[in-house]
Structure 1
Amino acid sequence: MATIVSPLPGVFYRKPGPGKPPFANEGDTIEVGQTIGIVEIMKQFTEIQSDVAGTLEFFEVNEGDMVNPGDTIAAIREG
């Protein structure tokens, strides 16, 4: 199981904006480089991308949760 961690502090969002669908959902097939969410700090948005391919097992944080560098955002079962 691979984990995706936050590279910086901020607020985690699963969607690109209000009323838009999430970048990815649990159970989705994820490709290398695919965006699964964004972290916002001081109106700067950083895409959180997967560095592995596989199935998105779960999100460790919810929409709007604060994250710190190194916090686990999601887990992906490789393969």
Structure 2
Amino acid sequence: TFYASPSPDADAYVKPGSKVSKDSIVCIVEAMKLFNEIEAEVEGEIVEVLAKNGQLVEYGQPLFLVKP
């Protein structure tokens, strides 16, 4: 499950226009009751968030579009 923020009442980690580096936390993915902070794999600017908050996501599924 994709979560855009650390808690329901918190701001999203990133949104379109946000700058990220390779160690920036961009979201949380829950798998088997474990919450995993996901780091950006590249440096750049978030163009689009492809997953909706609370959406079930699959391994390898793109979550963001990033412009280098």
Scaled by the length of structure 2, what TM-score is found? 0.92
For 1:67 and 1:51, the matched residues in 2 are separated by 17
Unpaired runs of at least 5, structure 1: 1-10
- Partner of 1:16 in structure 2? 6
Higher strand share: 1
The count of corresponding residues between Structure 1 and Structure 2 is 68
Deviation sequence 1:20-69 (CA, Å, 0-9, x none): 11111111111111011010123210111112111000011110110011
- Partner of 1:26 in structure 2? 16
Report the identity percentage: 26
- Partner of 1:48 in structure 2? 38
For 2:26 and 2:16, the matched residues in 1 are separated by 10
Which structure would you say has the larger RCO, counting Cα contacts within 8 Å and 6 or more residues apart? Answer: 1
Scaled by the length of structure 1, what TM-score is found? 0.80
Q: Which runs of 4+ in 1 moved over 2 A?
A: none
